[in-house]
Amino acid sequence: MVGALAAVGVGAALVVSGPAYAAGPALRSAPVRIFKKTRDFASCEKAGAWAQANPVGTTKWVFGIDWTAPQVSKFGDTWEADSIGTPVFRSGQSSITVTIPRWKNMTSADRAAVAGFNSAVLAHEQGHIEIAEKHVAGLPKKVPLGGFGPTRAAALQDLKNVEEGWRRAVEEQIQALQDEYDTETDHGRDQHKVGGDDVVLNCPQR
């Protein structure tokens, strides 16, 4: 079972698994906000050199879990708090930021070069969004977790810890997939390895 939870409770081992970033059918990604920054350069060539050595786009992906209100019960001396979580990709809190280079006296060929560059950056960053979204879609829709303790408060606190541990485990898993994607594509400069356009500023011949 993909994304199965191995165990719950005090000190429980959290085991999560899910599809690799390239696996599974493509999803229709929810739209995320796109922020554009401009950066001035002396020339196209200078901008191109900068783009080779610096991150030109960043993606903020936000994964969260909606938990039901805890149900608390007591068995002998032990309190138990249970909750069911639903993993959610929070597209409204996710965003992409890209840097658009510019320089003085840009020709139409310069502008076309920047437009091509910018769309390659956006496609690479959109890939990060899809990785997070696809991974979340592969998780179970209902994740039951429990916390235990000698008091009601202790059980509720333990549940909180277990919930946070699970959320963090999934987040780390998504981050590992993002790192894998960036390694394979060299942050988009080798995007052709996953079937896209490389992030490179092709300056027009003068």
Among 82, 171, 180, 182, the residue binding Zn ion under the rule CB under 5 A is: 182
Residue nearest to Zn ion (CB): 182
Among 90, 160, 187, 189, the residue binding Zn ion under the rule CB under 5 A is: 187
Residue (160 or 187) nearer to Zn ion, CB: 187
Give phi and psi for 101, each to the nearest 5.
-75, 150
Residue (152 or 187) nearer to Zn ion, CB: 187
Q: In whole angstroms, what is the distance from residue 137 CA to residue 43 CA?
A: 44
CB-based contact 37:97 (threshold 8 Å): yes
Q: Which stretch binds Zn ion (CB under 5 A): 10-18, 70-78, 169-177, 184-192?
A: 184-192
Q: In whole angstroms, what is the distance from residue 12 CA to residue 115 CA?
A: 51
List CB contacts of 94: < 8 A, sequence separation 6 or more. 32, 33, 59, 60, 61, 62, 129, 132
Q: Which stretch binds Zn ion (CB under 5 A): 20-28, 68-76, 131-139, 175-183?
A: 175-183
Give 204's DSSP letter.
P
Q: Which stretch binds Zn ion (CB under 5 A): 4-12, 92-100, 149-157, 185-193?
A: 185-193
Q: How far is the CB of 50 from Zn ion (least distance, A)?
A: 17
List CB contacts of 162: < 8 A, sequence separation 6 or more. 8, 9, 12, 14, 145, 146, 147
- How many residues sit in the footprint of Zn ion (CB under 5 A)? 2
- Does residue 60 belong to the site contacting Zn ion (CB under 5 A)? no
Give the footprint of Zn ion on this chain (CB under 5 A).
Answer: 182, 187
